[in-house]
Chain A
């Protein structure tokens, strides 16, 4: 396949994603208007907060964990799994990074600990799926809740900061990720997320393992006839997905000033796993599409803070994200809009 045909193949999904985003924005505006808010002012603040001047580095910073958790979902989806367990792996990635860097004051140690613990945390869901046939949606959601309580307990006990009851011990200065833009929250973490996406793209589309994962995702029976073990593919899918999610948690703490620590109630690592699902769907479960979708969702999250100053609750962006996902789920969304016009032209 030549590069240009490959590019043309991306045209329709791209147009459908853009349409879904527009629908999300439109319905969001209606909800705002019905709730008595000034939708125009809210969206203006949202866009300014996301893109104006130095705000764009905040957008990129906010997109970092989302890109990584979206990869978790995308690898699952490509293997035929609905892996929504990124959320729990993010918590433990953060916990591991804080814990390990207290001893080994080195960013690499923090990153590796995140990768490792993320993969380990996905193992129960993988085992339950392969050996007991437990649907991964149920197991990963249960594991997310279990992770939330255990990680909260660890943050308050083993990793508690004696000088600050509202957060864990900070990542020691020697293990922090360097900032890309001074006086911002944009750090090396963003580069790590982009590199991870490219690595996953190469694994999924240019290696034997990736071929096996995608084949068993598309047609497990055909894969089996072709000598591929779909169960092994599933386990790999969980493990690689867990690694990127654990990485998301680790870099989220190692790269975000000023605190470089986990806040009370896991507030600064909460929700990225869930939001990553939306990012992956809008990015069409493709690692490269995910980078752009991640930046879009990062922009929504970065802009939300400014939008809040116009009086609109922060959570409005979650509603918009949810509507975008429902719109993405409508098959042939583009055709529904284009067809009536085509017929008229004939």
Chain B
């Protein structure tokens, strides 16, 4: 291993942590307010797709991220109305959303671009890197932005009145309600923030990091993000740490697959299981001391 490879692996890990951290931070805000959503995988899929369409129309990758956020927001409205206002189950809509995501993107790639299963994002619709070396290693502007968003979310949740209210409706909605806090409004807002962040993460996959839309582009990251949220103890700053660990193994798998001298020793399929195995081990090891918000996933109905 030489210096370039280490730099490459490090930058690759940073690139891979972006979608996981953004989604984890969003999910943390939503669950702190008491709303579970397992549909982030579907949000990542659909916003990767619609984000690309936005970016191609505007000839600008940043517009793609905005398109991703809007896509996430629209899907968040559906989830929020069902779970917060209609008091529905928190898990079932997400199962539907994930199915719509995988079916819709496979359908959409064929219907919109006429190619089967994959569409290359043209360079004019991609976000240009902040920095790049001669070996193709690069640093996306989304990496520092992600660190900033995680920091901001932590500050918002734990240092502002808004955060206190969000946490109170997830921890004890009855008491919050008695104090005159609009439980439904704060829960709904938290769901929207979460979905929009996940939407940005999805668009990042296509218009920035991977530069392509495929019919399996999310590849389980929506669920890895949920695992990372549990690992982080519902804390955005710890989500950065977990995100880097998951990003590292995600990247290591791709890295080993692309290096024949390593890949020859172990079947690539085994290496591809790494991010998922690590997720399981980490979550199993950490869960004993992780405590979710008390009213996480429970619809709140006024007595």
Contact = CB atoms under 8 A, between A and B. Distances in A.
Contact of A321 (B82, B103, B267, B284): B103
A3 to B, nearest CB: 29
Of A132, A157, A315, most B-chain CB atoms within 10 Å: A315
A141 interface: yes
A82 interface: yes
Interface stretch (A161-169, A288-296, A328-336): A328-336
A13 interface: no
A281 B93 CA distance: 11
Contacts of B230: 135, 138
Interface string A126-140: 001000111101110
Interface stretch (A113-121, A148-156, A222-230, A256-264): A148-156
A278 B100 CA distance: 11
B269 interface: yes
A318 interface: yes
B246 to A, nearest CB: 11
Nearest to B219: A145
A160 interface: no
A140 B178 CA distance: 39
Contact of B227 (A142, A274, A278): A142
Given A145-B276, A318-B102, A326-B97, A153 B284 contact: no
B147 interface: no
A141 B220 contact: yes
A324 B102 CA distance: 15
A94 interface: no
B185 interface: no
Interface residues of B, number: 47
Interface string A164-187: 000000000000000000000000
A254 B114 CA distance: 36
A73 to B, nearest CB: 9
A274 B220 CA distance: 13
Given A35-B111, A128-B280, A142-B279, A153 B92 contact: no
A116 B93 CA distance: 32
A132 B102 contact: no
Nearest to A35: B111
Contacts of B93: 325-326, 329
Q: Which of B42, B95, B103 has the most CB of A within 10 A?
A: B95
B133 to A, nearest CB: 32
Nearest to B112: A35
A71 B227 CA distance: 26
Contacts of B269: 149-150, 152-153
B92 A329 contact: yes
B123 interface: no
A143 B280 CA distance: 8
Contacts of B95: 84, 277-278, 281, 325
Nearest to A332: B86
Contacts of B84: none
Contacts of A150: 269-270, 273
Interface in B264-303: 267, 269-270, 272-273, 276-277, 279-280, 283-284, 287-288
Interface string A64-79: 0000000000000000
Where chain A touches its partner, the secondary structure class is helix
A259 to B, nearest CB: 22
Nearest to A147: B273
Nearest to B278: A142
A316 B270 contact: no
A299 to B, nearest CB: 16
Interface string B79-113: 00010001111011101111111111011101110
Nearest to B75: A326
A315 B101 CA distance: 11
Nearest to A154: B269
A313 B276 contact: no
B223 A141 contact: yes
B226 interface: yes
Contacts of B273: 145-146, 149-150
Contacts of A36: 111
A157 B111 CA distance: 36
A274 B288 CA distance: 29
B262 interface: no
Given A35-B108, A322-B104, 15 more contacts: A35-B107, A133-B288, A138-B223, A141-B220, A146-B273, A150-B270, A150-B273, A153-B267, A153-B270, A275-B99, A278-B95, A324-B96, A325-B92, A326-B78, A329-B88
19 contacts: A35-B108, A124-B280, A128-B284, A134-B287, A139-B280, A142-B280, A145-B273, A152-B269, A274-B98, A315-B103, A316-B103, A318-B99, A318-B106, A322-B97, A325-B96, A325-B99, A326-B96, A326-B100, A331-B87
3 interchain residue pairs of minimum CB distance: A318-B103, A325-B96, A322-B100
Interface of B: 38, 42, 78, 82, 86-89, 91-93, 95-104, 106-108, 110-112, 215, 220, 223-224, 226-227, 230, 267, 269-270, 272-273, 276-277, 279-280, 283-284, 287-288
